[in-house]
Structure 1
Amino acid sequence: MTRPLRQLGFLTIGLFDPADPRPGHESVLRIIELGEQLGFDSAWVRSRHLQAGISSPLTVLAAASQRTSRIRLGTAVIPLGLENPFRLAEDLATVDVLSGGRLEAGVSVGVPMNYEHLKRGLYPDTHDVEDFTYERIARLLRAVRGEPVSDFEGTVGIETFHRGIQPHVPDLAARIWHGVGSVGSATWAGTQGLNLLASSVVRAEDESPDVGFDFDAIQRRQIDAFRAHHPRGERARVSIGPVIIPTDSATPAQIERYEAYVASRSARVGVPQGPGRLLFAQDLLGTSEQLAERLAGLASFRAVDELVVALPFTFEHEDYVQILEDLAMKLAPLLGWTPGLTPPAAPGR
């Protein structure tokens, strides 16, 4: 049985021209503004380092917070291997305060991509001893929850110091999400009481003798393992993030480009990629009626009531406008969604 869709969001990478980066960043802010106008519940940005994509998602979301009033603002995801949990906790809390409590902070762990090439620029003196395990998330959680990061509290001259991170937002820890790719990481996230970001990429963990590697089945196992170990059980928050491209109001030229984009990525579906043995979900393209039927057939979609649609990386601003409008006005209502009326369930309820 499919759960009615309660939360609808979208995710963008925010590409820009390195020679003129402002228009790309401005496009992201305009897209987030449009998302709020269309009733989307959340807008998420990726983290892209040493690429022509958003390298400082919290800075972008701080700007977006001043141009919106309702839509929730998320990171999907911040790789903690490139961050100091102490400083990141300060930035997360600050953006949450600026947004009026609308931040949804998605993070991940692991050795950073291309670490061998950037480690000396990132950690000149400690690159061989940095801890990229779950402990890095645990450090962030402790800091966000207000546990001491200093053994001093008091006044020095006219300056007052606290033991814990400032500003302190008591409920921010309940809005931290873990981006996972394996049953093991999903299980760990559940034991920690985190929220689960299930993306369009998983690790190839199980192979069926009949169909090979089944992305949907693997992702559903991750969701089930997460909830089996989460204090809130079936009420634990999970979102999935497939690439979905509705064509209801697209022009023939747009549809042709969209079809070419999906075709160029289809060969990797069902085939583990790279040393991490990553599996990619099939991009979903079609009319809203066709897409609703395909989503209903996914075991992972039937297990959730939150959807964060990943926008294709390389499209134009006008394409994103068309896709968002069709998502909000055509597809999501077929899935039971009501625009911008239902807030996320509070932890513990």
Structure 2
Amino acid sequence: MKKIGFLSFGHWSSSQGSRTRSAADALLQSVDLAVAAEELGADGAYFRVHHFAQQLASPFPLLAAIGARTQSIEIGTAVIDMRYENPLYMAEDAGSADLISGGRLQLGISRGSPEQVIDGWRHFGYEPAEGTTDADMGRRHAEVLLDVLRGEGFARPNPNPMFPNPPGLLRLEPHSMGLRDRIWWGAGSNATAVWAAQLGMNLQSSTLKDDETGQPFHVQQAEQIRAYRHAWTDAGHAHTPRVSVSRSIFPLVSNEDRAYFGRGNQGQDQIGYLDAQTRAIFGRSYADEPDRLVSQLAGDEAIAEADTLLLTIPNQLGVDYNAHVIEAILKHVAPALGWR
């Protein structure tokens, strides 16, 4: 059994064919798609966060709105770039969104990836400490977030407060019990997956990672997941971790599907560079008739290792089409693979 959700980057543009032409469209359609996905029986509505781009950026108002409109679907991110974040302010926003949703928030974070502008986090007021990198800064912000989400007091109260204080040191409010165990780390390498396990975070592994062995993407990703689980066991955490992978999967069940995705040119892994030093491998997309799609997906080792599958969607094709894609996967693919 697997949880199956969608992952949207929340693009908008005025280009021909786009049904998401403004920021308002991207936000409101994200809410509508989450509602539709819940009605179809999907398990999660997840969103990517990018700054300085015509994509979703500030996730917590959106997650809170979805939480208020839905009843059961998980709401989450995959991922938030922690180089840009004030972890204390973030803890307050996350606590609020989680309480509004009744404890359904699954918060994916990471140290970040190449962005639209040079050192964009500097514009947000953040600088790495001397002798450290921006990646170090992102991981440090994550550690602070994890610490304050425990709900323990750390701030000395004012002896003459505006309102009466409870005894002892004060914590951030609102505090949402259990959210600390629903933080996920987006790991691009085996080493950061191990680090996430040691800190007790769930693992999100997307459609790209550092090319560490030269093997096919799904094989490297499966090895990353196994290394994470070994590190989790060694750390002695009390609860069971969760692991998600992201994939672009399109069952070709209509003429519209075949027009969009039936050209057969996305069936191979790709190699690229995230920066001058980091060689990355990008996982293939899957698009085929349902029976052939089932056969292809059955050989994906990383999907087999994961308990959660996030379907990356072409959000600019609109709510109705993306709901159709999700329904086709739940109906034609998931049962045949034993995911449902």
Pick one of 68, 71, 76 that aligns with 1:69. Answer: 71
Q: Which of 7, 11, 14 is residue 11 of structure 1 equivalent to?
A: 7
| Cα displacement (A) at 1:115 | 5.8
Deviation per CA, 1:231-258: give whole Å up to 9, x if none: 359942111111111122x2x2431221
Q: Which amino acid aligns with 1:85?
A: P
Structure 2 residue aligned with 1:172:
179
Residue matched to 2:273: 273
Distance in 2 between the 1:295 and 1:17 partners?
32
Q: Deviations over 1:148-205 (max 9, x none)?
A: 4423366513354762111112211110000111000111111111111111111111
Distance 1:298 1:12 in 2: 22
- How far did 1:113 drift? 2.6
Q: Work out the CA distance in 2 between the residues paired with 1:313 and 1:278.
A: 25
Displacement, 1:316? Answer: 3.6
8 Å Cα contact 1:272-1:278 kept in structure 2: yes
The unaligned stretches of length 5 or more in structure 2 are: 15-20
Task: Give the 3-state SS of the residue equivalent to 1:132 in structure 2.
Answer: helix
Look up the SS of the partner of 1:178 in the other structure: strand
Deviates more, 1:154-163 or 1:307-316: 154-163
Q: 2:157 aligns with which of 126, 133, 152?
A: 152
Distance 1:40-1:153 versus aligned 2 partners, 3 A rule:
farther
Is 1:247 the counterpart of 2:252 in the alignment? yes
Equivalent-residue separation in structure 2 for 1:22 and 1:270 (angstroms): 33
Q: CA RMSD in A?
A: 2.5
Give the deviation of 1:58 after TM superposition. Answer: 1.5
Match of 2:189 in 1: 182
Tell me: CA distance 1:301–1:139, structure 2 relative to 1, closer, same or farther (3 Å). same
Give aligned pairs, total.
323
Tell me if 1:259 matches 2:262.
Answer: yes
| Matching residue of 1:139 | 144
3-state SS of 2:56 partner: coil
Is contact 1:47-1:57 (8 Å) kept?
Answer: yes
Structure 1 residue aligned with 2:204: 197
Q: 2 CA distance for matches of 1:88 and 1:188?
A: 21
Whether the 8 Å contact between 1:119 and 1:127 is mirrored in structure 2 is no
5 Å-filtered alignment, 1:64-103, equals 64-103=66-105
Aligned equivalent of 2:17 = none
Partner of 1:323: 325
Hey, which bits of structure 1, 4+ residues long, moved more than 6 A?
Answer: none
Deviates more, 1:56-65 or 1:290-299: 290-299
- The 8 Å contact of residues 81 and 111 in structure 1, kept in 2 or not, is answered as no
Deviation string for 1:95-117 (max 9, x for gaps)? 00000111000000157635635
Structure 1, unmatched stretches of 5+, are 208-212, 339-349
**Farther off after superposition, 302-311 or 198-207:** 302-311
CA contact (8 A) 1:311 1:320 kept: yes
Distance apart, 1:136 and its partner CA: 1.9
Are the equivalent residues in 2 in contact too, given 1:227–1:234 (CA < 8 A)?
Answer: no
